[in-house]
Chains A and B, each alone.
Chain A
């Protein structure tokens, strides 16, 4: 596709449920990022992939959060045993080059997760 695509756009989960959020980056983009944006705040970094390698996962808030990008394209962010504090918009972004942080990131529309 022309842009970064995320699904589902909206997800309501009961506390304790597992959820999986998908990101299709722009074709050929090497770098992929996940960000978490709580209501009224700026996006906060979760994790970074360069192709299939997860080079930085320092932003993942707990071991309930897991991300993968097995073939270096589509990525999935999985949250196990969801808690109410996990409610946020999860943004995926990709960029063409590796380590080129001066290049712009292209963001998807986000997946809004609400945990009841």
Chain B
């Protein structure tokens, strides 16, 4: 039973446009939500996070939105750049460990 789902395995976006990556979760105990980015042959690196007491957090080109009632969060990247091409993981937590979604592969075309 997957607690965290990223229903789009891949997403292709033109450079300069907005990328929207979605994540749905079922565990109501999750109260902190992180996004990680992973390049091939590298470990995941932290990108941005949001606490359950907020509904939006912005950091430069990256914004995360949280809809607790829908148990849904999304990551917006605008404008998208070719260097953003990577796999993005949604990783909520309610305790010591992160629970990762399956990831979305983002491809930003020049």
Interface residue ranges, A against B (CB under 8 Å)? 4, 31, 33, 35, 40-45, 48, 55-56, 59, 91, 93, 99, 101-102, 104-110
Q: What residues of A have a CB within 8 angstroms of the CB of B100 in the complex? A: 35, 42-44
Is the Cβ of A107 less than 8 Å from the Cβ of B43? yes
Closest to A33 in B: B97
Does B89 lie at the interface of the complex (its beta carbon under 8 Å from any beta carbon of A)? yes
Interface of B is mostly: loop
Does B98 lie at the interface of the complex (its beta carbon under 8 Å from any beta carbon of A)? yes
Is the Cβ of B97 less than 8 Å from the Cβ of A109? no
Counting contact residues on chain B (CB < 8 A from A), the size range is 20 to 34
Complex Cα distance A43/B49, Å?
18
Closest to A55 in B: B96
* Bitwise interface map of B from 44 to 56 toward A, beta carbon under 8 Å scored 1, else 0: 1110010100000
Looking at the assembled complex, report how far the CB atom of A95 sits from the nearest CB atom of chain B, in whole angstroms.
9
Interface residue ranges, B against A (CB under 8 Å)? 4, 6, 9, 32, 34, 36, 41-46, 49, 51, 89, 91, 93, 95-103
Complex Cα distance A105/B100, Å?
13
Q: What residues of A have a CB within 8 angstroms of the CB of B34 in the complex? A: 104
Could you list 23 A-B pairs, sorted by A, with CB under 8 Å?
A40-B9, A40-B102, A42-B4, A42-B100, A45-B97, A45-B98, A48-B97, A56-B96, A59-B97, A91-B44, A101-B93, A101-B95, A102-B32, A102-B49, A102-B93, A104-B34, A104-B46, A104-B49, A105-B46, A106-B46, A107-B36, A109-B41, A109-B42
Residue in B9, B97, B101, B102 with the greatest tally of chain A CB atoms within 10 Å: B97
Closest to B90 in A: A42
Q: What residues of B have a CB within 8 angstroms of the CB of A43 in the complex? A: 44, 89, 100
Complex Cα distance A31/B98, Å?
13
Q: What residues of B have a CB within 8 angstroms of the CB of A45 in the complex? A: 97-99
Is the Cβ of B43 less than 8 Å from the Cβ of A109? yes
Is the Cβ of B98 less than 8 Å from the Cβ of A105? yes
Closest to A108 in B: B43
